[in-house]
Structure 1
Amino acid sequence: MLDHHDHHIGGVRGPKKLVVLEGGTHLDLYDVPKHVDRTVAGAVPFFREISPSPR
């Protein structure tokens, strides 16, 4: 399904997660709450998973 996005993340090393912003563009991440909220909801758990726990 997301094969057409492979060229964006194919060269990235390490953990990665592609979030497709349906109905929006990268510029909508600045000031469209539904897109900001959706992206943050996907990014926070991802970064918690791959980041070491604070001591």
Structure 2
Amino acid sequence: MGRGFLYARELAEFLGKSGQTLYMWRKQGKGPKWRMLEGRVVYRVADVNKWLGRQQ
């Protein structure tokens, strides 16, 4: 089983967005729910899937 989360860099690559875009989304309260894990921004795969579902 996978680890269940994506680092910001991984999510940016998956979405075809820049890391800066994800940073701005976090500051503006947009994008998928995120959290800090050991000092790094991570996104739970379940939260990303939920967010993607709402975008369509």
Say whether the fold is shared (TM-score over 0.5): no
TM-score, L = length of structure 1: 0.31
TM-score, L = length of structure 2: 0.31
Q: Whose relative contact order is higher, 1 or 2, with alpha carbons under 8 Å and at least 6 apart?
A: 2
Higher strand share: 2
Larger Rg: 1 or 2? 1
